[in-house]
Structure 1
Amino acid sequence: MKKIAITLFLVLGSLTIQSQELTWQTDMNRALEISKKSQKPLFLFFTGSDWCGWCIRLQKEVFKTPEFAKWAKDNVILVELDFPRSTPQQPEIKKQNAELQQTFAVQGYPTVWFVKGSKKDGKINLEKLGSTGYVAGGPTAWLAVADKILANKPTKTAYTTN
């Protein structure tokens, strides 16, 4: 009986951990489709995943917490726009990320842009809601900033895909 209880506990524990896993999109077209269906804004995370200390710290202190996981599932579609130094990347993702970096004038990492997107005639139109980066104070402080940004009015910009 003890073995069954322990096994059940381990299975339920692993399901809880898996349910907190977040899905980060890397393809803007796919992210836009999901955003349109869910009516949620896009969360564009510009990062240097394998070299940027502040990016790694933001991931650890905020993005990998249960509080953030719940908030993200309820509020946004996550998009990782990575600029790694040693991790290989598909050429089309590299190009897409560079174009978006230029569109949003990202000069430092981590940078998070919240946007509402639409697509018309092969162009992705993005309405900027606001941006942030690393915020000290863990998930509570970071999410307070994010909630404030999501409450703002958008400004329009365009990003063209081929």
Structure 2
Amino acid sequence: MKKILFILFVTLSSILVQAQEDLIWHTDMAKASELSMKEKKPLMLFFTGSDWCGWCIRLQNEVFKKDEFTKWAKENVILVELDYPRRTPQDQSIKQQNQQMQQIFQVRGYPTIWLVNPEKTDDGKVNLSALGSTGYVAGGPEKWLEGANSIIKK
């Protein structure tokens, strides 16, 4: 009986881990924008302090690591993590890109989430058309997704 329970536990754990691993959080804005335009899905820009921001960690645990969010994200958005860590080393080009994005969207606190549509201009540059923003929302994935859906459907 113990062996059956153990096997069941291991199987369920691996399924849950697999579901979360299926989400791809891009860090390169150029690549994410290309993918967004190709798949005709908005970008979800997650401005976070991954190794120090308590509310960011809480949002990840309460919403982003839940099956409801995983399913929604795969169907509706291209995920982009714009991280501002204090202790974790970060590539200089990513650091510069993230600082530029922080200035463009005037992010003053974390977590901040912007939903945007990238659009290619005639000269080949990419403009980001803002749909709206949100942050931490109490109430789990259902409440958070309700707000995100209202931004996307505007």
Same fold (TM over 0.5): yes
Q: Tell me which moved more, 19-28 or 139-148.
A: 19-28
Unaligned runs of 5+ in 2: none
TM (norm. structure 2) is: 0.89
Shift of 1:72: 0.4
CA-CA distance at 1:13 after TM superposition: 5.5
Amino acid across the alignment from 2:78: I
State the AA in 1 paired with 2:32.
A
CA distance in 1, matches of 2:86, 2:9: 41
Task: Show the counterpart of 1:32.
Answer: 33
Distance apart, 1:125 and its partner CA: 0.3
Identify the match of residue 148 of structure 1 among 135, 147, 150: 150
Percent identity reads 64
- Within 2, Cα distance between the matches of 1:44 and 1:118? 15
Q: How does 1:111-126 map to 2 (within 5 A)?
A: 111-120=112-121, 121-126=123-128
Other-structure match for 2:83: 82
Equivalent position of 1:160 in the other structure? none
User: How far apart are 1:124 and its partner, in Å?
Assistant: 1.9
Unaligned runs of 5+ in 1: 153-162
Query: What residue identity is the alignment partner of 2:17?
Result: I
Aligned to 2:20: 20
Equivalent positions of 1:51-66 (< 5 A) are 51-66=52-67
Counterparts of 2:8 and 2:142 in 1: how far apart (Å)? 32
Aligned residue pairs total: 151
CA change 1:14–1:114 in 2 (3 A) is same
Alpha-carbon distance, 1:122 to partner = 4.7
Query: RMSD over aligned Cα, in angstroms?
Result: 2.1
Shift in Å, 1:85: 0.3
Distance in structure 1 (CA, Å) of the matches to 2:109 and 2:8:
46
Which amino acid in 2 is paired with 1:14?
S
1:97 counterpart = 2:87 = no
Counterpart of 1:41 in structure 2 is 42
Cα distance in 2 for partners of 1:89, 1:19 equals 26
